[in-house]
Copies of this chain bind each other. A is one copy, B any other.
Amino acid sequence: MTPPAPAEFGLIARHFRPLAGPGALDLLDDAAILAPPPGRELIVTVDAMVEGVHFLPDDPPDLIARKLLRVNLSDLAAKGAVPLAYLLTLSARRGVSDTWLEAFAAGLKQDQEYFNISLLGGDTTSTPGPLSLTVTAIGHVAPGATVRRAGAKIGDAIWVSGTIGDGALGLRAIRGELDDRDGFLAGRYRLPLPRLGLVDPAFVRAAMDVSDGLVQDLGHLCRAAGLGATVWAARVPVSVPDPRWLETCLTGGDDYELLMIADPVCETALQARAGELGVAVTRIGTIETESGIRVLDAASQPMTLASGGWSHF
């Protein structure tokens, strides 16, 4: 008998083999060869996205693919790493349509080219549940030059890139809870932009991306340093300057902007790099001795926020 190449292998060949890069062995093997660029250290990160949790069932497949890559690249950006390659796991119902996969792979291809990365390997499996996607992204840094969450010092400035809260506002706009005539906010939710190239240990002491909400993520950074912070709410850059949405912006997740801690003397260097990249950066607060995050309103009064941020469990 001649065992046929099963459907699973056909779809890998059709949709994913064209995306394979150096070391991927044309996706014919169950593993790939990973060669770090000479003299560089590797950074690895993994992020999963589940239908109904991280994206909506009727979201366009190409945008799901691109968001999946981008949330992982955002973690590399926070480390100051240059993206290199990724592995993909796709768990879908049997009979996932070829049209869906084609659009999904087209989205991967578009962002592979944009971010200069390639597919290294993966796994496809069936599930009786919602579509589940996992990407393991690999980047590289100069040895010892990884920027961590820990490292903030008393008196350091707290910076953010871009505008904060757009992810949460975008989700609400898609649900019709918020006016978004030009689709800007929905676009920010569906297609975040990883801020690659901004974090550099020359002027950033600690960093992470804002994925669970600004206040919660700043809490992580401060706990890692055993310190606290004050944030001036009025300085946090937002796309919808409406007090009714301020708390959503301060605590909503899915932004994928960068939260950076820098020595105040590094302001010029950070601003210069941001300028080169065409990314706005804004100083929103200060690292302090006292633990916890104090968010002050325009009258310098402490705000009480109902929700700290997002937890999956």
Contacts and interface: CB of A to CB of B under 8 A. Distances in A.
Interface of A: 1-9, 11, 25, 28-36, 41-50, 52-54, 75-76, 78-79, 81, 87-89, 91-92, 94-96, 120-130, 132, 134, 136, 138-139, 146, 148-150, 208-209, 211-212, 215-216, 218-220, 223-224, 291-295, 302-305, 308-313
A313 B293 CA distance: 49
B148 A29 contact: yes
9 contacts: A2-B293, A3-B216, A3-B218, A6-B313, A25-B149, A29-B149, A30-B211, A50-B128, A129-B129
A129 B50 contact: yes
B134 A89 contact: yes
Given A91-B48, A121-B45, A219-B5, A28 B224 contact: yes
Contacts of A125: 48-50, 53-54, 312
A210 to B, nearest CB: 11
Q: Which of A3, A25, A42 is the most central at the interface, judged by chain B CB atoms within 10 Å of its CB? A: A3
B34 A44 contact: yes
Contacts of A120: 44
Contacts of A31: 43-45, 75-76, 78-79, 81, 139
Given A53-B128, A129-B128, A313 B94 contact: yes
Contact of A75 (B30, B33, B136, B219): B30
Given A29-B148, A44-B121, A46-B121, A129 B126 contact: no
Given A91-B48, A125-B48, A125-B53, A33 B29 contact: no
Nearest to A304: B1
Contact of A1 (B5, B32, B215): B215
B292 A2 contact: yes
A119 to B, nearest CB: 11
B91 A50 contact: yes
Contacts of A46: 87-89, 121-123, 134, 136
A11 B295 CA distance: 27
Nearest to A90: B48
A246 to B, nearest CB: 14
A140 to B, nearest CB: 10
A129 B43 CA distance: 30
Contact of A8 (B7, B29, B50, B311): B311
Which 8 A-B residue pairings sit nearest by Cβ, starting from the closest? A129-B129, A6-B311, A2-B292, A3-B308, A31-B45, A3-B219, A34-B42, A30-B75
Nearest to A122: B46
B48 A312 contact: no
A53 B129 CA distance: 10
A215 B53 contact: no
Contact of A32 (B45, B127, B211, B220): B45
Given A1-B294, A124-B313, 20 more contacts: A2-B291, A6-B310, A6-B313, A30-B45, A30-B75, A30-B78, A30-B209, A31-B44, A32-B43, A34-B43, A34-B138, A44-B121, A44-B138, A48-B125, A50-B91, A52-B127, A91-B132, A123-B134, A124-B312, A134-B134
